[in-house]
Structure 1
């Protein structure tokens, strides 16, 4: 399985830092923010679960070990759908990668091109 992502995390973020491009890349992502993508983001309706049952708001947060908000159940065995719907999603600067342009998700673009 090969995956290509432009999400500023892990190896790609390391590359951006080594090459002196992190700040420029992040400015570009932030400038490309599209509010129309927010409603369709996968973190709003899906969760990621690691092999131990730990819960994350998205796959990228899982790779960063950024678990769901501390006040929420942390394990799938304790999952509460009511709390899930009302939860505060854990975010970081990498989230601009899903909200830039037409957006990004496992299913492709999340907003129509204008």
Structure 2
């Protein structure tokens, strides 16, 4: 039992040191971003430091099903995906779109009720 308590204490101390190191690294990153004028990085780092922000960066799956972690490779994969999705041959059966009548009977006269109301308002 004594060994367990010592191990638990060591783990807690190690976690505390790691957390302090992580926080210090993020603070330095935020300072560098602020000095360089990188607002997006500064915002993300600040949100991470506050603890209310989790940025999920999911890996993109390649054509073979393997995960891609590098940003450049992910962008290339997205380009490949949308190119194959959007550049497809035209449909073999064109859709049947009926022609619309252009001369619809629309009454453009002023409604008689409006004329009556305006005349009663002007008389009073």
TM-score when scaled to structure 1? 0.17
TM-score relative to the length of structure 2: 0.16
- Relative to its length, the structure with more helix (as a share) is 2
